[in-house]
C-alpha cells in the first residue's frame, strides 16, 4: 500500500497543491512532485537516503533515537518540502492536541451539516474528540501542507471502535490480530483541503501498518460524511450503531469493515 501513495496523491493533486508533498509513515516515506505534466518519473536509483529524528523530540528532550522512517528525495532535501505527512511520537502529544482539536471542530462544523441537523452536529463535537491513546501508541498520523495541519487520522490495535478519551464503552484491551479486526480511527480532513487524496493516504497508512502487524480485517465507526469515501476504498456496511444521547439526539455511527489482502 505504501508504494501506491505517491501515484494516488499525484493523480488527485489540484493545481493549487504544493510543489512537494512529503509522505511519512511507519516503515518508509517518499518525497515526489505531484504530477502536472506527462514528464517522465524521476529516477531515484542511487539517490542518497537520509535519516533524521523528529525535531520535536530534540526540542522537548524526548527519546532522541532515530525513527525507522527513511526520507527518500529525488533532488531536494526533505526538510525543504512544503508538504509532509508525519507519524508523531508520543513526546509531541501536548503540542499537537490543540491543532488536532481545532481541525476536528472545523471539519465537523463545515462537512457534517450536509448530512446532519444542527443538534446532531453539536452532539458529534461532544463525542468525537481526541483519543490521545492513539498518539501514545504511535499509530496516529498528521498531514501538514505548507505548515498547516490539513488532515489527521490513524489506526488502532485496541478494541475501542471510535470516540474520544471520554467516550462511553471504551475497551483499551489489545485486539488479537488472528481473530479480531484492527480499527481505523479519528479520520478528519480540514474543509480547505478536501478532495486532494489526504483521506485515502491516511486510510492506506493505517491499513498498511495493521497488515504489517498481522491483522486480517479492519473496522471503523464511520460518520455519514465519511461513508462514501470508505465504501469507495473497499469498506462494507455491517451495522448501524447509532444511539440516542442524553437529550434524545441520535448521531449516526456506522460500523464498516474491510478484509485486508
Going along the chain from its start, the domains and CATH numbers come out as 2-259 (3.40.630.30)
For residue 164, count other CB atoms closer than 10 A to its CB: 16
Q: What is the pLDDT of residues 129-186, one digit of tens each?
A: 789 899 889 899 888 888 889 999 999 999 999 988 878 889 999 999 999 999 999 9
pLDDT computed for residue 100 by the predictor:
92
Q: Which pLDDT band holds residue 244 (cuts at 50, 70, 90)?
A: confident
In the chain the first and final C-alpha atoms are separated, in Å, by 10
CA-angle at 133, arms to 222 and 190, nearest 5°: 50
pLDDT of res. 246:
80
pLDDT, tens only, 48-59: 322 222 222 222
- For residue 65, the model assigns a pLDDT of 27
Q: Which residue has the cell 471504551?
A: 170
Most confident of 1-10, 106-115, 225-234: 225-234
Residues 6+ apart with CB under 8 A from 126: 245
- DSSP code of residue 48: P
Instruction: Quote the Cα angle for 54-56-57, to 5°.
Output: 75
234 to 62, 64, 185, 259: CA distances (angstroms): 38, 39, 16, 8
Q: Is the pLDDT of residue 36 over 50?
A: no
Smallest CA-to-CA distance from 141 within 156, 163, 158, 126 is with: 156
pLDDT digits (tens, 9 = 90+) for 198-236: 999 999 999 999 999 999 999 999 988 899 999 999 999
Closest Cα partner for 145 from 215, 106, 192, 109? 192
Residue 168 DSSP SS3: coil
Residue scoring higher pLDDT (20 or 112): 112
> What's residue 126's pLDDT?
72
What is the Cα 25 distance to its own chain's centre? 10
Higher pLDDT, 232 or 6: 232
User: Rounded distance, CA 87 to CA 249, Å?
Assistant: 35
Name the more confident of 160 and 111: 160
CA torsion angle 33 6 16 79 (round to 10): -60
Best CA proximity match to 29, nearest among 93, 63, 64, 73: 73
Tell me the pLDDT tens digit for each residue of 49-99. 222 222 222 222 233 222 222 222 222 232 333 355 554 444 444 588 899
pTM of the predicted structure, to 2 decimals = 0.67
Amino acid at each position: 500500500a505504501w508504494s501506491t501513495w505517491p501515484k494516488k496523491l499525484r493523480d488527485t493533486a489540484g493545481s493549487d497543491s504544493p510543489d512537494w508533498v512529503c509522505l511519512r509513515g511507519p516503515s518508509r516515506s517518499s518525497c515526489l512532485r505531484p504530477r502536472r505534466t506527462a514528464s517522465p518519473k524521476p529516477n531515484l536509483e542511487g539517490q542518497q537516503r537520509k535519516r533524521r529524528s523528529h525535531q520535536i523530540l530534540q526540542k522537548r528532550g524526548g527519546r532522541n533515537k532515530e525513527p525507522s522512517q527513511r526520507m527518500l528525495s529525488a533532488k531536494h532535501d526533505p526538510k525543504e518540502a512544503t508538504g509532509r505527512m508525519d507519524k508523531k511520537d508520543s513526546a509531541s502529544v501536548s503540542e499537537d492536541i490543540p491543532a488536532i482539536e481545532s481541525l476536528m471542530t472545523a471539519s465537523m462544523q463545515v462537512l457534517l451539516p450536509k448530512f446532519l441537523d444542527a443538534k446532531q452536529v453539536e452532539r458529534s463535537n461532544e463525542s468525537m474528540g481526541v483519543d490521545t491513546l492513539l498518539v501514545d501508541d504511535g499509530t496516529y498520523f498528521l498531514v501538514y501542507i505548507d505548515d498547516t495541519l490539513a488532515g489527521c487520522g490513524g489506526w488502532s490495535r485496541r478494541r475501542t471502535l471510535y470516540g474520544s478519551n471520554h467516550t462511553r464503552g471504551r475497551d483499551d484491551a489489545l485486539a488479537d490480530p488472528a481473530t479480531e479486526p484492527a480499527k481505523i480511527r479519528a479520520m478528519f480532513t480540514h474543509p480547505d483541503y478536501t478532495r486532494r487524496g489526504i483521506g485515502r493516504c491516511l486510510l492506506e497508512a493505517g491499513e498498511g501498518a495493521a497488515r504489517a502487524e498481522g491483522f486480517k480485517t479492519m473496522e471503523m465507526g464511520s460518520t455519514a460524511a465519511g461513508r462514501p469515501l470508505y465504501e469507495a476504498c473497499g469498506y462494507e456496511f455491517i451495522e448501524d450503531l447509532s444511539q440516542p444521547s442524553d437529550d434524545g439526539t441520535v448521531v449516526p455511527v456506522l460500523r464498516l469493515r474491510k478484509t485486508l489482502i
